Amino acid sequence: VMHAAKGIARSILDESNDHHRQQLIHRLYWRIVQLPPTEEESRLAGLFLEKSLEKMPGSDRESLESALALAAHALLASSRFQYLD
């Protein structure tokens, strides 16, 4: 799952010229659950990214990709993500 989360984070950053955190969160939710985040989800995801970035070493791009991958991993493990066969 972490490998998939890293791939999702990388593709979101590659497809976007705008690395504004709320836009990244919006894209992340659309990519994984195919719905926009609620206001509360957006707020909490923003706080999560902010706290994660504080702990990430490396370049801005690497740190942002790692933090976004952690958020993607959490979302993939959440009840909002459903797999339909």
Spans of all domains in the chain: 2-76
- pLDDT value at 85 more than 50: no
Residue 12 amino acid letter? I
Cα–Cα dist 44/14, whole Å = 24
What predicted TM-score, i.e. pTM, was given to this entire model? Answer: 0.85
- Average pLDDT for residues 11-16, to the nearest whole number? 93
Eight-state DSSP code of residue 72: H
Mean pLDDT of the chain: 89
**Confidence band of 40 (pLDDT split at 50, 70, 90):** very high
Both tokens of 39, joined, read: 């206001």
Residue 83 has a pLDDT of 56
